Structure 1
């Protein structure tokens, strides 16, 4: 049995406190769906814009529960050999040549030897299924929308029974299902058949108060005044029609960068010099340069002053 301190949370409040202890500021809705996912042993499907903290949930959960974190980073062209398993072909060829050199003629014995587990290269899916009881890993399937529908269908089969068949070895079934977190940036729609097997939550951009708390936790060296200005500025940017609005990760990066530069407040020159930590597309950067950027900063400071 796992230690009590690493046991699954027994309530929504405990779930929220667990995330908070890992410096993840979560609303009650997220804590609720995560609690239910753990209790019902169902995958949790997290959808939202890039940089809003979906992946971080799995990392915090693995650390809080003292479970291994196994991450399958999805990409276009991902296949079974990269996601599940493959054979160590160079080692197998060496075994065959050694058998030939020593005169071993038993073909069945050679086949059993080259297709033994010591020549099996375990990829993330297989690693996730081989967790021991009470220590099943947190299995993060990150950015599923980057894969194609064929791999999505294959994954659906695995998540239905938590098992995979290797023709040469047989069926490997999880002793205990892993804790599955699936993320997607919604660059394409995921099939309903997979979503039906999951609990769903949309991870949105945080409110100003929540984002300010995140900055305080993740960039503690950033002064209170500068943190407020950073968050207010980012919140304003997200109201603009940008190609890619900055996520929470970019907010933290910006706060960290300004702290490293010993800045105590935002000014037009500082914003211009460091904007590359916040915005990653030249068209977006061009939109806030010059008078537009100066007005945006002026509006931010005026609103903060009025709120005091």
Structure 2
């Protein structure tokens, strides 16, 4: 079993093993993934939606047989949802059951602030695990700035302070991946504690490799045409440009419909697989001069 300081033996090993999980990493991605494990530093992955940021964390977990612990960030996320909270209902029941007994309040207080009453959330769960763990902090840019302060203690020392129990330090540091769509600038304090990787849409050749690896039944010439069309769609000013996952979904759709020629009609008929806004579809039909 690999040690937490050596999730991958080299950048080449990272590239090979990630590819086995269906994640085709370029040299920069493979090197950064290797260093995140070797240096035991969190990895901040930034880029537009749908370029494989979350999938990178999933692939690392898969190829290392690690448990994936995911914290999905959103506006309004607080400490109780990210770190831990006390099971107040259970504590109240314990307090009620001790009433009328000779037990002093101080003893009752100490009794109800124990592991038995602790509800661990993703950050604390990952810190306390002794097995290999990948901690995915997804879309961190969607949280409030205040939440970053909570992350600093975890990312700096891999420890969490619980006033009633003391400081909980990681026995085995997790492989931490933070993803961001760059909807807001993260603090320098958070960035300073992380390695940084920017992922963008792949070039045509790499995207074709990704699509054909995921959908091997797709004819080569159709794959080339699909990637060319996806590239043209991304050049338009759309509400939501098609992601790599949507390219793969489109490929699967074409195979399912037994479409052997991706002509204008075929594109128009299946456009809903890759464009999820009516205005985007209308713009694509106009700009690409599609006919239904």
TM-score, normalised on structure 2?
A: 0.93
Deviating beyond 4 angstroms after TM superposition, the runs of 4 or more aligned structure 1 residues are none
For residues 1-308 of structure 1, the aligned pairs below 5 Å read 2=1, 8-100=7-99, 103-132=101-130, 135-289=131-285, 292-294=288-290
TM-score, normalised on structure 1?
A: 0.89
Q: Distance in 2 between matches of 1:264 and 1:196?
A: 50
The answer as to whether partners of 1:211 and 1:248 remain within 8 angstroms in 2 is: yes
Label 1:271 to 1:192 Cα distance change in 2 as closer, same or farther (>3 A).
same
Shift of 1:262: 2.3
The answer as to whether partners of 2:265 and 2:290 remain within 8 angstroms in 1 is: no
| Helix, strand or coil at the partner of 2:270 | helix
Shift of 1:261: 2.1
Q: Distance in 2 between matches of 1:230 and 1:151?
A: 41
Shift of 1:223: 2.6
| Helix, strand or coil at the partner of 2:290 | helix
The answer as to whether partners of 1:52 and 1:205 remain within 8 angstroms in 2 is: yes
| Helix, strand or coil at the partner of 2:217 | coil
For residues 7-29 of structure 1, what are the alpha-carbon distances to aligned partners after superposition, in whole Å with 9 as ceiling and x for unaligned? Answer: 62221111111111111111111
| Helix, strand or coil at the partner of 2:197 | strand
Shift of 1:114: 1.7
| Helix, strand or coil at the partner of 2:285 | coil
CA-based RMSD of the aligned residues comes to 1.9
The answer as to whether partners of 1:128 and 1:136 remain within 8 angstroms in 2 is: no
